[in-house]
Structure 1
Amino acid sequence: MIETTITDDIAQVTLARPEKKNALAFEMFDALTKAARDLANTDGLRAVVISGQGGAFCAGLDLGTMQSMATKMDEVKASLTEVDATGANRFQSPVTAWAHVPVPVIAAVDGVCLGAGMQLALGCDFRVVHPDTQMSVMEAKWGLVPDMGITQSLPKLMRADQAKLLIMSARTFSGSEAAGMGLVTELSDTPMDAAMAIAHDLATRSPQSLAGGKALVERAWGGGPDALALEAALQRDLIGSPNQIESVMANMQKRAPKFG
């Protein structure tokens, strides 16, 4: 149900359950986490693009999976407090694990992007979205709160009052509306093509520079004095490194860089 392929050092992670609009079943949660962790340790990887099959990104949590929770409520509640080394539980890891992949992660979003699917898209570094995509932070419809790492992603993107309105109302909105709220990196009538173009463009930059830039935002955005120390530490590691020097030389010589 989760397919991963790597071509030209760019990974494509596909939600492959088109008959259900790629709604997430339990096994898909674990498969997404595994895919992220495997790619985080893949040498030479330059970018990741996440998409859904069949003209839909993800319709959220599978209804059958949701219904099955009623028969094992104690197990489900226990899993909410069992966390991994990053502090994430089984339901959060499929989203938060992408922040630990040291390359750009881009969501190509069309069709529907609801509930768990919305949180997965928010957990990516960039979202390329079709203007007509139907999107929603939907958990309030089911009497729940969004609990897949939204506290890590949404504060970087929008004001608190707007976030509370989306979370409390569970209203559905278009990709175009989402762009106006700051939730979309780029609108496109062909999200997959545009996402791949971004991936290939970023792949021309030093991998260490990209990893550092991602870490800077993930770990220190809006931070205090500790964030200044992180800026300095990341820069200290980059300055004078082979790929940083190659970036300078390639620009000066007007040629494509050759990173090690």
Structure 2
Amino acid sequence: MTEPMTEPMTEPVLVTMGEGGVAEVTLNRPEKKNAWTMEVFDALAAAARGLKGRAGLRAVILSGAGGCFSAGLDLSVMQGFAADLSAVKAQMAEADATGANRFQAPVTGWAALPVPVIAAIEGVAFGAGMQLALGADFRIATPGARFSVMEAKWGLIPDMGITQSLPKLMRADLAKELMMSGRVLDAEEAQSLGLLTRIAADPLAAARTMAADLAARSPEALAGSKALVDETWTMPPGAGLRREAELQAGIIGGPNQIEMVMANMQERAPNFR
């Protein structure tokens, strides 16, 4: 059974909490292939903020309703931008406490969660949809899924937090080629480039299995592993080593780390605080 948090079924983004502390966040504009309006931008950012403070959260799954992850920006958004460019540029210059603006927060907010975030991808992940998928910790897609950093089609650069995700996943020359060309990738090429974690016939089922497995691990170890990669992957060696030691010092000997050891020794499921 899943427990709706507050959103009615007409909302552009649905958030449900399932058993074991796994939240599912679903883009809910299937008739538009889950294209983003400004309501989608704000609803995704609000969902990430709301889940960050939710007690007992263990993992998050991002998906799209109707068999499609997201086709990117709704054309109405592009038309709205053209009508008032000065307002758009002003919003680009306004950042929250994390440094993200209104257009970046729906993507970067998932990295701020101390739990694993898994994107389950069917259909296409284009433009904003691609950047949202890259903002997750893991990406699982169907063999027929297609991907594109599509902003080049509109004469733009990707600017929804891609600087925080892509450098950890692929070489700079390959990233430039995808950004400059905007070409469409199939799932096999996306995986070969490091953009996909796994290909699965049913990515949502695979994501739920993965989330359940990770939810059985120590929450401090999960949060520490996520921080270790996110904070240090592009750090200079000395700073990275210091952060590695700081994170481990905060975990080792803690009640959940000891519980993990005891559970393994006693061949039982752990009972975390």
- Structure 1 residue 223 displacement after superposition: 1.7
1:246 and 2:259 are equivalent in the alignment? yes
Quick one: which of 146, 163, 176 aligns to 1:151?
163
Distance in 1 of aligned mates of 2:249 and 2:106 = 32
Match in the other structure for 1:19: 31
Listed as ranges, the gaps of 5+ residues in structure 2 are: 1-11
Distance in 2 of aligned mates of 1:176 and 1:24 = 26
- Structure 1 residue 138 displacement after superposition: 0.2
Distance in 2 of aligned mates of 1:180 and 1:221 = 20
Percent identity of equivalent pairs: 60
- Structure 1 residue 222 displacement after superposition: 3.2
SS of structure 2 residue aligned to 1:128: strand
Listed as ranges, the gaps of 5+ residues in structure 1 are: none
Task: Give 1:43-122 correspondences, 5 Å limit.
Answer: 43-122=55-134
Deviations 1:217-250 (A, max 9, x none): 1111132211111111111111110000000001
- Structure 1 residue 64 displacement after superposition: 1.1
Q: TM-score, normalised by structure 2?
A: 0.94
SS of structure 1 residue aligned to 2:66: coil
1:3 and 2:14 are equivalent in the alignment? yes
Match in the other structure for 1:259: 272
Quick one: which of 210, 232, 252 aligns to 2:245?
232
Amino acid at match of 1:248: V
Distance in 1 of aligned mates of 2:223 and 2:42 = 25
Task: Give 1:154-193 correspondences, 5 Å limit.
Answer: 154-193=166-205
- Aligned residue pair count: 260
Distance in 1 of aligned mates of 2:86 and 2:14 = 31
